[in-house]
Each structure stands twice: as C-alpha cells, then as structure tokens.
Structure 1
Amino acid sequence: MNETEGTLAISTHTHPAGPVVLRLAGELDHYTGPSLRRAVEDVLRSPGTGIVADLSDLVYCDSTGMTVIITAYHRAQAAGSSFSVGGLSAVMTQLFRVAGLDQIFPMHSSVQDAVDALGRK
C-alpha cells in the first residue's frame, strides 16, 4: 500500500477590518498540520493581531488537524490575539461540533461573520 501525503494550500491576507485571514484549501492532517502551525506563528509575530481561519475550502480534517487548530487558538490567546474559524461546510461544522471544538473556540458560518465578531470584542 502506498501512502500519499495530502495537500494543503494556505493563503494569508489582512482583512480591511484588521484581522489576518488564513485561508485553508485541501486537507488538514498529520502531513499538512505543520504548515498551518508555521502560518499561525508567522501571524503571531505581530502582537495583538486577530486571526480568522477560513475553512471554506477545507475538504478533510483528521484529529491531528483538529489538534493543530486547537493549538493555534491557544497560542493566539497566549499572545494576546484572538482566533476564530469561519466558512465551515455543513459536514465540517458537524465534525467539529461532535468533537466539541465549538466549546473551545468561536465557529462562524462565514469569514465575514468571524471578522464582525472580532470587531465586537
């Protein structure tokens, strides 16, 4: 059996309202998780910067991927930043809720909702 690594593309842009949006496209798992860790660490070099993870193009996320997202949330909190996710598909929303992630960090139906929520803090 040949094991293939998943692919994850991460693009970063600053939303006009201020937070940095990390758009994830593809699969978040054991192989691709380190890419997200590095992207979050890069953003957190600017203290106080809010992060919104745009998961609208995330097609797969395993338990390792969930752990990376939880760790990103905790690192942002420790750095005095905010972290939330937006744009989850119905399947990913259900997966995250079953895993209890909605009890750990804010989940929003769209990136704009996540950005708006950060602005209300």
Structure 2
Amino acid sequence: MDRSDPDVPIVRVGGDLAYATATPLRAEIDRLLAARPARLVLDFGDLIFLDSTGLSVIVHAWREGQQAGTRIELRAVPRFLATILDMTGVTGLLDRRPTDGRASGSTASA
C-alpha cells in the first residue's frame, strides 16, 4: 500500500486477483473503509489476471464505499479489466456518488 498521502489510501493490486487471492484484498479494503476516507484508490497497474471472485471484490469495495461515503477510484486499469468492467456494468456502478454525497464517481484509465 502507498502511504504518500495518508488521507487517500492506495491499494496496489498485482498478479492474479482470483479465488485464492481475493480474501486478503477484501479484508484490507474493509479495514481501510472502516476509517471512512473520502476516497480509496485501487491501483491495478500490475494486475495480470482477474476471475469472477476478483471482480466481486471490486463490487464489494464499491458497495461498502457507498455505505461509508467513500469514492472508490480505479487507477492504472489494464485494457482487459476495463473491458470486463464495461461488459459487466461495473463501470456504471463506479460512476455513482456515495450515498452521503461526500464524493463523486470514480475514474478508470486504461
């Protein structure tokens, strides 16, 4: 995790985000969201593979972020992940404001 800005936690996700690796990431996201930051960044610059369990972690982060008033921002999104997010409608979810209105949508870049 990048601690360069303590008010904006950044979680770097690399390698495979799949069934065997999703649980620790989900736990870290939950831990960070418990502090209710205005924004949480998930950096996928080193992501190689994502399965449905990995995708569910992103949706979980969004859902929990909505409840915490935290904007979930995706950074360094590889093209294959951007395609999956678009095809599954997750991109549209990420663009919604958190329920308390503190922050606005997310950005996803290829």
TM bucket by the smaller chain?
A: 0.7 to 0.9
Structure 2's unaligned 5+ residue stretches are 95-105
Two-structure CA RMSD over aligned residues (Å)? 1.8
TM-score normalised according to structure 2 size = 0.79
Of 35, 57, 63, the residue aligned with 2:46 is: 57
Partner amino acid, structure 2, of 1:58: L
Q: Give the secondary-structure state (helix, strand or coil) at the position aligned to 1:24.
A: strand
Structure 1's unaligned 5+ residue stretches are 1-11, 111-121
What CA distance in whole angstroms lies between the structure 2 residues aligned with 1:49 and 1:18? 8
Partner amino acid, structure 1, of 2:24: S
Q: Give the secondary-structure state (helix, strand or coil) at the position aligned to 2:2.
A: strand
Structure index of larger Rg:
1
Asked if 1 retains the 8 angstrom alpha-carbon contact of 2:45 and 2:78, the reply is yes
Question: Per chain length, whose mean CA-contact separation is higher, i.e. which structure has more relative contact order (CA < 8 Å, sep 6+)?
Answer: 2
2:84 aligned with 1:81, yes or no? Answer: no
Q: Report sequence identity in percent.
A: 23
TM-score normalised according to structure 1 size = 0.73
What CA distance in whole angstroms lies between the structure 1 residues aligned with 2:107 and 2:21? 21
Asked if 1 retains the 8 angstrom alpha-carbon contact of 2:18 and 2:50, the reply is yes
Aligned position for 1:108: 108
